[in-house]
Amino acid sequence: MSDASPFDDPDVYYLYRYKPSVAVAAVSCALFAVATGVHIFKMYRSRAWFLVPLVLGGLFEVIGFAARAYSATQKAPDWSLGPFIIQSVLTLVAPALFAGSIYMILGRVILMTDGERYSMVRQKWLTKTFVCGDIFAFLLQSAGAGLMSSSSMSKTGEWVVVGGLIFQIIFFGLFVVVAFMFHTRLQKSPTTPSLSVPWRKHLWALYISSALILIRSIFRVVEFVQGNTGYLFRHEVFMYIFDALLMFGVVVLFIFVHPGEIRGYLEREKRASGGEGSEIQLEEQFTRPAK
């Protein structure tokens, strides 16, 4: 992996400001492929379909780094535009998909503990609000990454991406506040279900994964503010340390603290109460006001 870029001329637009490493991209692709494969298996076995965005994010990382590895095999600086766009867009927006599942996990922790009264946002609206914000950030970043492939629109694309990332950071910050307030209130006055379910470890997994995504997003903001000729963009190592490694950490974390456990608990509660139907119907059963 290159430490310095041989393409430093600020008057010439290069897709990469260094010769990308084939080996590191291939290893990253392989690691994400293995971790995502484990998630697909666990998701299918537990029927935790709210993890579909997490799995899609993992697949985005796999395809993105595969495209990057292919791009790295090409002669510099004559890289093909297609692989560059694929790796740029997919590795940029994958964390937004991870965030989508993280938002839904908190909603299910609230259901599992019967602690909606401790949430700053009603469970019914919590997931919808944050996922809609996440989709908006996803679309902004995707559009910006696409614009960056054109030398004439590169600067505009960078600022669109920055806007999407800042929006994501703000929304994530609000999410962490909501999760923390729920955590402290539930800790102070536990509900009966919370005494027998492992809700704390799932919240701590949310905190850790949220911190990793926030650090990565802040890095990306600084990278894009500096622009195509900036120090971070000219050194490949930073992209792997502050993006690929942190996002791999998120994927691996949820393998060991798998949210399918929450789905299993809710399913057992449904059976105990004689309920039937889909997970969406189950949520409605838990959140429907008593008559």
258-291 pLDDT tens trace: 999 998 888 887 777 665 544 544 454 444 444 4
Q: Is the pTM of this model over 0.95?
A: no
**Mean pLDDT of the region 241-261:** 97
Q: How far is CA 203 from CA 49, 77, 176, 183, 188, in A?
A: 19, 46, 10, 8, 15
Contact 75, 160 (CB under 8 A): no
**Mean pLDDT of the region 220-242:** 92
- The answer to whether the Cα torsion of 58, 240, 206, 214 is positive or negative is negative
Flag whether pLDDT at 38 surpasses 70: yes
Flag whether pLDDT at 11 surpasses 90: no
